[in-house]
Structure 1
Amino acid sequence: MKADFVWKCLPVLCLIKSVVTSWESWWTYEGISGPDFWGRLNPKWSLCSRGRRQSPIDINPKLLLFDPNLSPLHVYGDYISGNLQNSGRGIIFKVSSNRTVIISGGPLSYQYTLKEMILHYGRENDRGSEHTISGHQFPAEIQLYAFNSQLYANWTTAQSEANGVLAIAVLIAHTQQSIGGNAQLKHITHTLKNITAKGDNQWISSLSIRELLPTLKYYITYEGSLTQPSCHETVTWIVLNKPIYMTGHQFHQLRTTMHSDGHGDNFRPLQPINHRVMRTSINFQDQTNEVSIDFKQSHHKKASMCTMERSMMYRGKG
């Protein structure tokens, strides 16, 4: 009798296991499984629709608060290896544990170990980044995710716990100079031809983290969330005040080489700020600071509106 009960339950247990393991494949960036519905797909993702500290956000320079206590970031380690994966929605670089990169300093009270990088982009150059500056969207954004390795044993535990995650956002602009693209991004886009189908992955060695971080001194920081399900609100975000560049050929590779769901536009829409404080290490009163960025190479129609342009300086409240 007991044996019969066990055998009858096994199919149910298998079904439950199948459902749990397939959650990751249920969400997309478009349609009825897109961002507007993430919070309904899985009860554990309810923060995606109900959270009050969600990411990404628009960074309005007029709302930035200069914090003189924000020191430069510290990066221990540089070259890493890992698997570049086609997730079906975009590109994820999973960092190997053989070489670790530790990040501290800035607004951080703990040390964080680099876990993965995610590249967001759009179908056209007028969109793609998740974070925006004064409503201006860049064609791409690379996000470096690290977990609090002083408090938590691994990424799985840390992502749902307080002070668990650090995310560094680097905006990516378009350059028409064939040799003007970031060398590490070239390393990534050159590998795309080997991961054209969902689930494909390719090992990459000696990728320089430092070359992906154009500045460690000037940035904006705020408390937010993961930009993908489960949208846990455990993330300290740092948005660097300087872009890196990709060429038109690299963007073409990114948008056409991989057979991904949606074929681009893999970014989450902006989320309400809800009275959160956005602090910055940029001193608006000190005109000698390198607080502006040259976007002459980006050739966006709305580039002149971007407050990070060299001809315009960040302005705080008077």
Structure 2
Amino acid sequence: MRLRFFALAGMLLLSSARGADQSIQLPSPAAPVKNAAELKERIAGANANAKLDQQAKPATPAKPTDRYSKAALESEEDDIQALAERISTRLANLRKERESRPPAPRKKPAPAVAKAAAHDELIAHTWTYEGAGGPSQWGSMNPAWATCANGTRQSPIDIRDGFRVNLDPVQFDYKPTRFSVLDNGHTVQVNLGLGNTITLTGRTYELTQFHFHLPSEERINGKGYPMVLHLVHKDAAGRLAVVALLVEEGEPNEVVQHVWNNLPLEKNDAQIATMPLEPAKLLPERRDYYTYMGSLTTPPCTEGVLWIVMKEPIRLSSQQIAIFARLYPMNARPIQALAGRRIKESN
């Protein structure tokens, strides 16, 4: 009777322990309990197993905070707004500090450099055709212009007593081209696009610009002309060839009128034309010419320039000549010494 009681009590206690955790498995059928000590031992073992099973079960993870909830978004927005306000305040303080600082003093150039720069700028604007900055002073105004005073192949010249020979014709290859007009303070200069060339004695020169002088710088057997156009060419090696077109009064010139129509309103401010110019229409019908070696007729008076002076003049109307005369009443360098140079002319 006592044994049955202990067996029944053991089963009730084990059932209670299993109710604490469904993972506990009781022996089925339960072995009969012999005495109270054995019952206590079984109960202690069941509790120990229940505790081990509880520890072995994974912990239920905490439910993460929803970062996209309304409260979370509002909190993050407040943080960003506060940061933006701090940045704005810092920038404002930096601006005030910068504005309150005195400007840094400009570093003055060395006296010698400043003096040289001022001198170069002065002479660039003061050489003229008359007076203190006139042609007789060019050679002493700048060491780089010494050739203007001591050169032996200077231009222009009075062309006379040339050798009459069968000269190769100048091959003109001029095309309609874009252009701009510049009043550079000494003349009106027309700058041309690429693609216009002359070829002579096996060399090809590119037409870069042409400009005007009044009266003509060249003379033919002592005779001067109202104006002259100088068409400046350069070859691949940098050698220059200038074609001179003497001007006499006559009918209007279409190309020159196109240039006058595009005169700039200010000096040193190039006017870009919208319609192309046809330099071929400047040339006279006859292509006979004089040729000699000379120089540029303005500072720095560089020598080694091939001159080609067309014998037949071109014509401009009196009104067209008068327009240039209003800008430059005189911009011609005086005649230079021939100094034994040879002049050749077409038969």
If the length of structure 1 is used for normalisation, what is the TM-score?
Answer: 0.70
Task: Identify the match of residue 216 of structure 2 among 114, 120, 129.
Answer: 129
State yes or no: 1:270 paired with 2:338: no
How far does the alpha carbon of each residue in 1:213-238 deviate from its partner, in whole angstroms, 9 at most, with x for none? 21463100000000000001120000
Deviation at 1:26, TM superposition (A): 2.6
- 2:267 is matched with which residue? 198
How far does the alpha carbon of each residue in 1:243-283 deviate from its partner, in whole angstroms, 9 at most, with x for none? 11111111222222x4xxxx4210111011111111012x2
Deviation at 1:52, TM superposition (A): 0.8
State yes or no: 1:40 paired with 2:150: no
Determine the C-alpha separation between the residues in 2 that align with 1:135 and 1:8. 54
Determine the C-alpha separation between the residues in 2 that align with 1:79 and 1:235. 26
Q: Secondary structure at the match of 2:315?
A: strand
Deviation at 1:203, TM superposition (A): 1.5
Task: Identify the match of residue 65 of structure 1 among 152, 156, 163.
Answer: 163
State yes or no: 1:84 paired with 2:181: yes
Query: Which sections of structure 1, spanning at least 5 residues, go unmatched?
Result: 1-5, 122-127, 152-157, 159-163, 284-318
State yes or no: 1:187 paired with 2:258: yes
Deviation at 1:165, TM superposition (A): 0.6
- 1:222 is matched with which residue? 292
Give, as a single letter, the amino acid of the residue that structure 2 aligns with 1:104: T
Determine the C-alpha separation between the residues in 1 that align with 2:256 and 2:339. 34
Residue-pair matches, total: 241
- Name whichever of 180-189 and 7-16 sits farther off: 7-16
Identity, in percent, stands at 30
Task: Identify the match of residue 141 of structure 1 among 222, 225, 228.
Answer: 228
Deviation at 1:15, TM superposition (A): 5.0
Structure label with greater radius of gyration: 2
Give, as a single letter, the amino acid of the residue that structure 1 aligns with 2:271: Q
Question: Is this contact kept in 2: 1:48–1:54, CA < 8 A?
Answer: yes
Instruction: Flag the structure with more relative contact order, 1 or 2, with Cα contacts below 8 A and sequence separation at least 6.
Output: 1
Deviation at 1:8, TM superposition (A): 5.7
- 2:125 is matched with which residue? 25
Question: Is this contact kept in 2: 1:77–1:100, CA < 8 A?
Answer: yes
Determine the C-alpha separation between the residues in 1 that align with 2:112 and 2:342. 47
TM-align CA RMSD: 2.1
- 1:166 is matched with which residue? 241
The verdict on how the C-alpha distance between 1:50 and 1:12 changes in structure 2, with shifts beyond 3 A counting, is closer
If the length of structure 2 is used for normalisation, what is the TM-score?
Answer: 0.65
Q: Secondary structure at the match of 1:207?
A: coil
- 1:300 is matched with which residue? none
**Structure with the higher fraction of residues in helix conformation:** 2
The verdict on how the C-alpha distance between 1:113 and 1:18 changes in structure 2, with shifts beyond 3 A counting, is farther
